[in-house]
Chain A
Amino acid sequence: MIVARTGNEAMAEAMRQINPDVVAAYPITPATEIVQLFAKFVNDGLVDTEFVPVESEHSACSACCGASASGARVMTSTASQGLALMHEILFIAAGLRLPITICLVNRSLSSPINIHCDHSDTMASRDAGWLQIYTENAQEAYDTTIQLVKMAEQALLPGIVSTDAFIISHGMERVELIDDKEVPKFLGERKVNYSLLDVDNPITLGPLDLQDYFFEHKRSEIDAMDNVLPIIEKVQKEFGDKFGRYYPIVDEYKLDDAEVAILVMGSTGGTAKVAVERMREKGKKVGLIRARVYRPFPKDAMTKALSKVKVIGVMDRSDTMSTLGGHLYNDARSILYKSDNQPLMKNYIYGLGGRDISIEEIEAIYEQLFDIQKSGEVDKDVVYFGVRGE
């Protein structure tokens, strides 16, 4: 069915079709609508979900952990400060291998207070052991929400699927919905090896784990991350075979014959694709790499993509506050350390707090990348693009 939906509405529709056993959530701008719409689905009897309206995001994530440990299929939704308040529990969910799915809207972190898009919230949680998938539009957000539940449950890892605040969350687009009956069929039942509520086979969860075994348990969690990419690929392919929309781990656009390329994530990926088209109309060979799966970082696929061009401009909608530039830039640079083919690389931090980025601005970045190609030198590794006084 083809409909017009905002990113938030699309994610809420996906949650309705997934029909999770438990949703525990606390509303926060700009993800409020996801929770609000889902609460209405519960009220209207459209889902069988046990909806827990908790008093904070810390409690939301905690309730999700308890429910997931019992074997339930569990989802929640949050943004920005909400994810920050969950931070402590994010590590517990990952360490206990609880496949919770968060529908997240990427919003800047205070201070200064701001409700608009950047990626600082999820980037601050990138080391928590959760899968992270950043989407470009409402359709991808909808599709990925459904996919991620399956990926998480197969890998026994929690996951975050995100959209850009307001740009996608509150922007209405054409979205193709899957038939209600097909989503549960695609997902199947969650297979549970151990359940907290299985009184005949009692287990202990979350006990003290000291020098004797903590390290082994952490190592196995890292193993799960190491092994999840084939699962992600498999689920993406199953989804494509069934519903006709295929997604890659790393989204390459007009990259094969490109001389310079931009690496970016989220909704700017779409804007950059239009910039690529315009540059190519002028005969300039440019390409685009969009990081869709960010955690785990897809080292092989990303190295392959980056190695195709001579100059890369990495666009980060967040800063590490380490004086070393943005998150994506640091990851991309790091994987090329041992590569035979090392493109020149420049980092553009842009769009913090929702500042708009236009097609023309991205074209200007491409022009700068050609200048770097010509001179063979990166004048300045990290620049702040579109900020006053730069």
Chain B
Amino acid sequence: MALLEIRWHGRGGQGAKTAALLIGDAAVETGKYIQAFPEYGPERMGAPVFAFNRIADEPILQHCGIKTPQIVVVLDPTLMETVDVTEGLPEDGIVLVNSQKSAEEIKKQLGLTSQKVYVIDASKISEEILNRDLPNTPMLGALIKASKLLEFEPMLASVQNRLKKKFPNRPEVVQGNIKAIKRAYEEVGV
């Protein structure tokens, strides 16, 4: 696998950084080299934030920012009104958006022609399963389906392990997230 770069767009508190760390962790467990890092600015709850991943089969040497990601993940669709979420995206890039709209509508809204657009209503999935709008984990399921950058089952096992460590006394949170990831994996639409 050649070097793959991902940019996550979210709002402070939505878990863009956590999602980048979870996918990085899972990729390491399947033998990849990775980087996962947020952009630390003056972020506050609700302000636009970025997080990034690099994934490759070979050691990754560069430590500069990511300006031309092949994949962009948008956790909050309202960001598309204020942030240029497709900046630097190549012609064959992938955009994955948490939205109730169709892929065709998003494609039109972003003025894209050749790039692939995927949509998933991750907020709805999260609200139905976890009773909270935390779209980051379901987006992981959708990302794996859309990009095929990792195998689904090992990714799921890795996320489960990390969440278990993070929430040792709340098995319902771990199980809920896993359920949400699975559902998003199944429901993501082109």
Interface residues of A, Cβ cutoff 8 Å to B: 2-4, 115-116, 136-137, 164, 166-168, 170-174, 267-268, 270-271, 273-274, 356-359
Using A171-B35, A172-B36, A174-B33 as known contacts, say yes or no to A137 and B28 having CB atoms under 8 A apart. no
Task: Tell me if B36 and A359 are in contact (CB < 8 A).
Answer: no
- Interchain CB contact under 8 A, B62 and A274: yes
Contact B40 A174 (CB under 8 A): no
Q: Does B12 contact A (CB under 8 A)?
A: no
B67 within 8 A of A: yes
With contacts A4-B24, A115-B40 taken as known, whether A359 is within 8 angstroms of B64 at the C-beta atoms is yes
CA distance A151 to B20 in the complex (A): 36
CA–CA, A25 and B62, complex, Å: 31
Are A270 and B63 in contact (CB-based, < 8 A)?
A: yes
A274-B61 in contact (CB<8A): yes
A141 to B60 CA separation, bound complex (whole angstroms): 16
Within 8 Å by CB of A173, from B34, B64, B65, lies: B34
> Do residues A170 and B28 form an inter-chain contact, with CB atoms below 8 A?
no
B25 at the interface (CB under 8 A from A): yes
CB <8 Å contact, B61 and A174: no
Q: How many chain B residues have a CB neighbour from A under 8 Å?
A: 23
**Complex-state Cα separation, A7 to B38, whole angstroms:** 14
> In the complex where A356-B64, A357-B64, A358-B64 touch, is A172 in contact with B40 (Cβ < 8 A)?
no
Q: In the assembly, what is the distance between CA of A356 and CA of B28, in Å? A: 26
Cβ–Cβ contact A270 & B40, under 8 A: no
Among B37, B59, B62, B65, the one with the most A-chain Cβ atoms within 10 Å of its Cβ is B62
Minimum CB–CB distance from A370 to chain B (whole Å) comes to 22
CB distance from B136 to the nearest CB of A (A): 15
CB of B125 within 8 Å of the partner chain = no
Interface flags, B22-48, vs A, CB<8A=1, else 0? 001101110011111110100000000
| Separation of A267 and B28 alpha carbons in the complex (Å) | 21
| A-contact 0/1 string along B66-95, CB 8 Å cutoff | 010000000000000000000000000000
Complex interface: chain B residues within 8 A of A270 (CB): 61-63
Question: Within the complex, what minimum Cβ distance (angstroms) separates A164 from chain B?
Answer: 7
B65 touches A174 (CB 8 A): no
Interface membership of B21, Cβ < 8 A: yes
On whether the beta carbons of B63 and A168 are closer than 8 Å, the reply is yes
**Contact status A164-B63, CB under 8 Å:** yes
Asked whether, in the complex, the Cβ of A170 is within 8 Å of the Cβ of B38, the reply is yes
**Contact among A4, A137, A271 for B25, CB-based, below 8 A:** A4
Question: How far does the Cβ of B50 sit from chain A's closest Cβ, in whole Å?
Answer: 12
Q: Most A CB atoms within 10 A — which of B21, B24, B37, B61?
A: B61
User: Which of A115, A137, A166, A357 is in CB contact (< 8 Å) with B37?
Assistant: A166
Q: How far is the CB of A115 from chain B (nearest CB, A)?
A: 7
Q: Which residues of A contact B29 (CB under 8 A)?
A: 4
Whether the Cβ atoms of A116 and B34 lie closer than 8 Å is: no
Min CB gap B105→A, angstroms: 34
Name A116's closest neighbour in chain B (CB-CB): B40
Distance between Cα atoms of A50 and B52 in the complex (Å): 38
Contact residues of B between 98 and 152, Cβ < 8 Å to A: none
Q: Given A164-B63, A173-B60, A267-B63, 10 more contacts at CB 8 Å?
A: A4-B24, A166-B40, A170-B37, A170-B38, A171-B37, A172-B24, A268-B63, A271-B64, A356-B64, A356-B65
| B157 CB, min distance to chain A CBs, angstroms | 14
From A136, A173, A273, A274, give the contact of B35 (CB < 8 A).
A173
Interface pair A137/B63, CB less than 8 Å apart: yes
Contacting residues, chain A, for B24 (C-beta < 8 A): 4, 172
Q: For A172, what are the chain B residues with a Cβ–Cβ distance below 8 Å?
A: 20-21, 24-25, 34-37
Specify which chain A residues have a CB less than 8 angstroms from the CB of B36 in the assembled complex. 4, 171-172
Most buried by B among A168, A174, A271: A174
25 A-B pairs with C-beta separation under 8 A: A2-B28, A3-B28, A4-B21, A4-B25, A115-B40, A137-B63, A164-B63, A166-B40, A168-B63, A171-B35, A172-B25, A172-B34, A173-B34, A174-B32, A174-B33, A174-B59, A268-B63, A270-B63, A271-B61, A273-B61, A273-B62, A274-B62, A357-B64, A358-B64, A359-B64
B4 to chain A minimum Cβ distance, whole angstroms, is 14
Complexed CA–CA distance, A357 and B64 (Å) = 6
Mask, B50-61, CB within 8 Å of A = 1, is 000000000111
Q: Are A170 and B40 in contact (CB under 8 A)?
A: yes
Given A116-B40, A166-B37, A174-B33, does the pair A4, B28 have CB atoms closer than 8 Å? yes
CA distance in complex: A20, B24 (Å): 30
**Docked-complex contact B28 and A174, CB < 8 angstroms:** yes
Contacts of A274 in B (CB 8 A): 61-62
CA distance A137 to B29 in the complex (A): 19
Residues in A with CB closer than 8 Å to B63 are 136-137, 164, 167-168, 171, 267-268, 270-271
- Who on chain B is nearest to A277 by CB? B61
CB B146 to nearest CB in A, in angstroms, measures: 22
CB distance from B57 to the nearest CB of A (A): 11
